Amino acid sequence: MLIPHMVPYASPIYFIILFVTLLPLILSLLIRGKRIGWYQSLITLFFLYISFGGKDYRQGLALIGYVIFQSILVWCYHHYRKNKNQANIFYLAVFLSIVPLILVKVTPFLDGQNSIVGFLGISYLTFKSVQIIMEMRDGMIKEYSPLNYIKFLLFFPTISSGPIDRYRRFEKDLNDPPAPEKYVDLLGSGVHDIFVGFLYKFVIGYYFGQVLLPIVDRMAMHHGGLSWGLVGYMYVYSMYLFFDFAGYSLFAVGTSKLMGYETPPNFNKPFLSWNIKEFWNRWHMTLSFWFRDYIYMRLMFTLIKKKTFKSRIVASNVGYFALFLIMGVWHGLTWYYILYGFYHAALICLTDAWLRFKKKHKKQIPSNKFTHALAIFLTFNAVCLSFLIFSGFLDKLWFHNIFLMR
Any idea what the Cα angle at residue 211 is, between residues 209 and 215, rounded to 5°? 100
- DSSP secondary structure letter of residue 73: H
Distance CA 73, CA 67 (A): 10
Residue 340 burial by Cβ neighbours in a 10 Å radius (0-12, 13-18, 19+): buried
Whole-angstrom distance, CA of residue 258 vs CA of residue 24: 11
DSSP 270: G
Specify the amino acid at residue 76. Answer: C
- In DSSP notation, 181-219 reads HHHHHHHHHHHHHHHHHHIIIIIIHHIIIIIIHHHHHHH
Q: At what angle do helices 87-111 and 57-81 cross, to 10 degrees?
A: 160
Handedness of CA 159, 190, 383, 204 (dihedral sign): positive
Question: Which 3 state secondary structure label does DSSP give 282?
Answer: coil
Active site residues: 331
Residue 54 DSSP symbol: G
Cα–Cα dist 176/159, whole Å: 21
